[in-house]
Amino acid sequence: MSYLQDPIGKEKMDNREKKVLCLGLLVGDFITKPVTGMPERGKLTLVETTELHLGGCAVNTGVVLKKLGINVGIAGKVGNDNLGKFILNKLNEENIEIEQIKIDPKINTSGTSVLVHPDGERSFIHSLGANAKFSIEDIDFNYIGKFFILHIAGALLMPKLDGKPMAELVKKAKEIGLIVCLDTAWDSQNRWFKVLKYSFPCIDYFLPSIEEAKMITGEEKPEEIAKFLLDKGVKNVGLKMGEKGSFIMNEKEKFYFPALKIKVVDTTGAGDGYVAGFIAGLVRGYSFEKCGLLGNLVGAKIATAIGATGGIKSWEDLIEFAKNHGYKI
């Protein structure tokens, strides 16, 4: 059932500003496009563009939410290096709260080399960096209590927080009346369900990619995946399915949204954009179905420009994009 039907501290939520805290991965993305192959050792290959962008699930989702008119804070960890300073400065420019971003001078900021193929699909070379040191001890629960939604962005790539510490985090978040959303990253260590199972009973909205969800559940079909997760305590499930669109399901409703017909430029951040759209719908009080539609639209629009957030300009621009594709939001 949706949060509107599920009593999770409604009186507390009614008295707090409807802000979203995105907690998790902060990354500097070095985007290279187009990549058709790796150069031989000691040799050089030319590409059209290489750009430095904000990245990481928490950053991407937070920046898109801000562009959609939602007040946002970000919590996580960076190093005291040029890449960390770049991230903090850019978030300041976006008027995003950064007081819960910790600076660790003993470790480098996380970075990703994003290799964009000619069709817009990507491959990644990633360094965990400071994200690997972010832990529950870094989290100020009095600060978290000022928010309406806690979105944990990038589970499975935060080794100090994954598992039972994350379960403690989401349990405390529920106790102080927050809506809790969760998104995952690819688990190269193949732990999946073993790490996430402790947190599921406290997750209101779980929004993974279909490929990650298959690995977590062992199921293949969207409805079977969603049923598995609902049986484990998750209240609502949203699956990002790329060129097959998206699917949402809870105990009462299920909806499939086809992929939009767009010219794909770069799919970097499309999944995080989906999450931002969905959460923007929650903040605005939209129905479960409309939240899913909004996520589908935002994810598609992200893919029309290079970078994880460049496709989104404003709420008004998104409304026009939706209208041009036959949707009203």
Residue 98 lies in a domain: yes
pLDDT digits (tens, 9 = 90+) for 66-112: 999 999 999 999 999 999 999 999 999 999 999 999 999 999 999 99
Residue 71 lies in a domain: yes
pLDDT of residue 124: 87
Mapped onto helix, strand or coil, the DSSP state of residue 271 is helix
pTM (global) more than 0.75: yes
Give the chain's length. 329
Nearest Cα residue to 25 out of 142, 186, 170: 186
Average pLDDT, integer, range 198-227: 98
- End-to-end CA distance of the chain, in Å? 22
pLDDT digits (tens, 9 = 90+) for 108-133: 999 999 898 998 888 889 898 999 99
pLDDT digits (tens, 9 = 90+) for 230-278: 999 999 999 999 999 999 999 999 999 999 999 998 888 999 999 999 9
Mean pLDDT of all residues belonging to the chain: 93
CA 219/CA 169 separation, integer angstroms: 27
For the chain, what is the domain count?
1
The yes-or-no verdict on residue 8 having pLDDT over 50 is: no
Domain that holds residue 98: 10-26+56-110+129-324
CA separation (Å) from 187 to 118, 121, 284? 25, 19, 32
pLDDT of residue 306: 83
Residue 200 lies in a domain: yes
Residue 255 near residue 248, CB atoms below 8 Å = yes
pLDDT of residue 15: 56
Kindly give, in sequence order, each residue whose CB lies less than 8 Å from that of residue 18, ignoring residues fewer than 6 positions away.
Answer: 70, 71, 148, 149, 283
Residue 144 lies in a domain: yes
The yes-or-no verdict on residue 12 having pLDDT over 60 is: no
Residue 123 lies in a domain: no
- Token readout for 186 is 């690819």
Residue 45 lies in a domain: no
pLDDT of residue 308: 84
Residue 2 lies in a domain: no
Residue 49 lies in a domain: no
CA 280/CA 324 separation, integer angstroms: 20
pLDDT digits (tens, 9 = 90+) for 161-202: 999 999 999 999 999 999 999 999 999 899 999 999 999 999
pLDDT digits (tens, 9 = 90+) for 302-313: 999 988 899 999
Q: What is the CATH number of the domain that holds 281?
A: 3.40.1190.20
